[in-house]
Homo-oligomer: A and B are copies of this chain.
Amino acid sequence: MRIITVSRQFGSGGRELGKRLSDELSIAYYDREIITDVAESSELDEEYVERILETGGVSSFPFSFARSFAFVDVNQQNYAKMLVAQQDFIMKLAGKGEDFVIVGRNSDVILKEFSPFNIFVHADIESRIDRCIDRAPESEEMTRREYERRIKQIDSARARHRSFLDDSPWGRMESYHLCIDTTDKEIKSLVPGLAAFAASWFGK
């Protein structure tokens, strides 16, 4: 079984790379399904689950959410519940014995026993801000500085969450098999070569 995990800096194009890589290799890609399953099994709203899991909880909640300690407490409990449900679901995926690509969610750590090929995608901050602006809905009005702050917040949260699960630090070369710089690169153009590298990694 060949499992490829893609971890990434926010805005580096890692999700697109993961999706395209799975297409190129004709293997499964897991992303949205995880959110749906987690929402169902934790009995929470899907959009709410997505928002929290994708941003590691730093997403700007409506202020009413955090107005009382009781509410904050519920959020923390929900978050823990989601993480457990997510981990269960990821292990179930691996249990099927099929090849797949999975993006984020500390899958590299969670799936360690299956010897996944672990990729990390990064880019310089300007290029990450550009990618965020390119894909933002028209209604989103944020300055480059605000994007930068947001990107760094999300990445810090990702680093923190990984640190609960494993000693190897998030976003450091030593923690991954392959780190790719996507600065000024079209993701699509890298995929055929990356697919070939993955094939070499698994010994074809």
Contact = CB atoms under 8 A, between A and B. Distances in A.
A145 to B, nearest CB: 21
A134 interface: no
A13 B173 CA distance: 16
A196 B190 contact: no
Contacts of A193: 193, 196-201
Interface in A161-204: 171-174, 176-181, 189-194, 196-201, 203
A56 to B, nearest CB: 20
A197 B176 CA distance: 17
A19 interface: no
B189 A203 contact: yes
A151 to B, nearest CB: 15
A177 B124 CA distance: 11
A182 to B, nearest CB: 9
Nearest to A178: B180
A178 B197 CA distance: 12
A74 B196 CA distance: 50
Nearest to A175: B181
A122 interface: yes
Contacts of A177: 180-181
A198 B173 CA distance: 19
A120 interface: yes
A36 to B, nearest CB: 33
Contacts of A176: 179, 181
Contacts of A173: 120, 122, 171-173, 179, 181
A180 B194 CA distance: 12
Interface of A: 120, 122, 124, 171-174, 176-181, 189-194, 196-201, 203
Given A178-B180, A193-B201, A196-B197, 8 more contacts: A124-B174, A174-B181, A176-B181, A178-B178, A178-B179, A178-B181, A179-B179, A193-B200
